[in-house]
């Protein structure tokens, strides 16, 4: 796998003082293998250098740092500032952004590499007209939109806002906008997400937060859709970078399909080089 990059499209960096009850549960469930506590310093802050060192040890070239309910967009941007292998994503909530088009221009200028929508938590549909200026600007700038599509354990989540039919409408209205469905419809809409990513040239499914051992049960035809599947972990609420990567490598899929899922597709979406970062191959 050494000739193509490995990209984790979905991780969260939140300092411990902001963790909610669910964060504690998830982070501690996986603490033996996630390496989370190795990247938190003596003052209880997450350290970008330590995170990159962990990525090196576990064979990861790039990570997308997703702003969700926490932390702030500013925190995520600052965290990634001197680390070209950490790619910040801004969260957009149409209820608190008076002009989502202006916000997209600002985020692109600041250095964000993508935008995250959390419809289940912020309670909007992704085809909400307030988001259309965002989609126009993101499309013009090649910024991918990562949308949470599926279940969530966090308080106040409402599944109805994740209906993939709303993604279909956005995909039809913005033919060159890169739309990535995080969690690929977890729990409710796997078939629909698979279908949509086959149907629309610009729609991808991202598989973070799904048990990899069940992946081919959830998506028996995964090999045929290998151009449209993007790997991510949802770290630190996941068994870890290496475990996730090795889980994909162990699947009965072609070598070419695994390389696409583990990084080549993401590299194209993010306009990154299609070659690995050498220091991430320490193992």
Beta carbon of residue 234, minimum distance to Zn ion (angstroms, whole number): 5
Stretch of 15-23, 27-35, 159-167, 226-234 lying at the interface with Zn ion (CB under 5 A): 226-234
Stretch of 48-56, 73-81, 130-138, 234-242 lying at the interface with Zn ion (CB under 5 A): 234-242
Q: How far apart are CA 209 and CA 179, in angstroms?
A: 18
When the beta carbons of 156 and 273 are compared against Zn ion, the nearer one is 156
179 CB-near residues (< 8 Å, 6+ apart): 144, 145, 147, 167, 170, 171, 200, 202, 203, 204
Contacts 24+ apart (CB under 8 A), 219-222: 219/184, 219/190, 219/194, 221/194, 222/251, 222/253, 222/257
When the beta carbons of 112 and 253 are compared against Zn ion, the nearer one is 112
**Packing angle between helix 132-141 and helix 164-173, nearest 10 degrees?**
60
Stretch of 32-40, 155-163, 199-207, 231-239 lying at the interface with Zn ion (CB under 5 A): 231-239
Beta carbon of residue 175, minimum distance to Zn ion (angstroms, whole number): 27
The size of the interface with Zn ion (CB under 5 A), counted in residues, is: 1
String of contacts with Zn ion for each residue 141-180, x by CB under 5 A: ----------------------------------------
Beta carbon of residue 85, minimum distance to Zn ion (angstroms, whole number): 19
Q: How far is CA 244 from CA 34, 104, 168, 219, in A?
A: 10, 31, 29, 17
Beta carbon of residue 66, minimum distance to Zn ion (angstroms, whole number): 6
Q: Give the residue nearest to Zn ion (CB).
A: 234
Stretch of 41-49, 164-172, 185-193, 233-241 lying at the interface with Zn ion (CB under 5 A): 233-241
Q: How far apart are CA 70 and CA 3, in angstroms?
A: 35
Q: How far is CA 271 from CA 59, 77, 184, 245, 250, in A?
A: 20, 18, 22, 21, 27
When the beta carbons of 122 and 234 are compared against Zn ion, the nearer one is 234
Other Cβ atoms closer than 10 A to 44: 9
When the beta carbons of 8 and 234 are compared against Zn ion, the nearer one is 234
Q: How far is CA 101 from CA 121, 201, 278, in A?
A: 21, 23, 37
Beta carbon of residue 102, minimum distance to Zn ion (angstroms, whole number): 26
Stretch of 21-29, 48-56, 133-141, 228-236 lying at the interface with Zn ion (CB under 5 A): 228-236
When the beta carbons of 163 and 234 are compared against Zn ion, the nearer one is 234
DSSP label of 97: -
Of 8, 163, 168, 234, which one interacts with Zn ion (CB under 5 A)? 234
237 CB-near residues (< 8 Å, 6+ apart): 12, 23, 26, 27, 29, 30, 209
Q: Contact between 206 and Zn ion (CB under 5 A)?
A: no
Q: Which residues bind Zn ion (CB under 5 A)?
A: 234
């Amino acid at each position: 796998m050494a000739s193509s990059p490995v990209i984790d499209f979905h991780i969260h960096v939140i300092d411990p003082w902001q963790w909610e009850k669910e964060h504690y549960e998830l982070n501690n469930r996986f603490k033996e293998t996630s390496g989370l506590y190795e990247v938190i310093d003596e003052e209880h802050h997450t350290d970008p250098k330590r995170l990159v060192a962990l990525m090196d040890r576990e064979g990861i070239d790039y990570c997308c740092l997703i702003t969700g309910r926490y932390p702030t967009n500013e925190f995520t941007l600052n965290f990634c500032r001197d680390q070209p292998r950490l790619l910040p994503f801004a969260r957009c909530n149409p209820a608190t952004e008076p002009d989502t088009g202006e916000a997209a221009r600002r985020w692109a200028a600041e250095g964000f590499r993508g935008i995250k929508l959390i419809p289940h938590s912020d309670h909007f549909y992704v085809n909400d007209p307030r988001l259309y200026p965002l989609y126009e600007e993101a499309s013009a700038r090649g910024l991918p939109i990562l949308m949470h599509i599926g279940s969530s354990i966090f308080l106040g989540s409402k599944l109805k806002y994740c209906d993939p039919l709303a993604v279909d409408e956005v995909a039809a209205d913005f033919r060159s906008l890169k739309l990535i469905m995080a969690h690929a419809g977890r729990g409710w809409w796997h078939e629909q997400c698979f279908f949509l990513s086959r149907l629309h040239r610009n729609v991808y499914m991202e598989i973070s937060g799904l048990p990899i051992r069940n992946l081919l049960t959830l998506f028996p035809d995964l090999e045929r859709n290998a151009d449209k599947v993007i790997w991510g972990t949802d770290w630190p609420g996941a068994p870890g970078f290496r475990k996730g990567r090795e889980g994909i490598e162990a699947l009965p899929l072609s070598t070419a399909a695994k390389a696409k899922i583990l990084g080549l597709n993401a590299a194209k979406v993010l306009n990154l080089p299609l070659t690995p970062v050498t220091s991430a191959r320490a193992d």
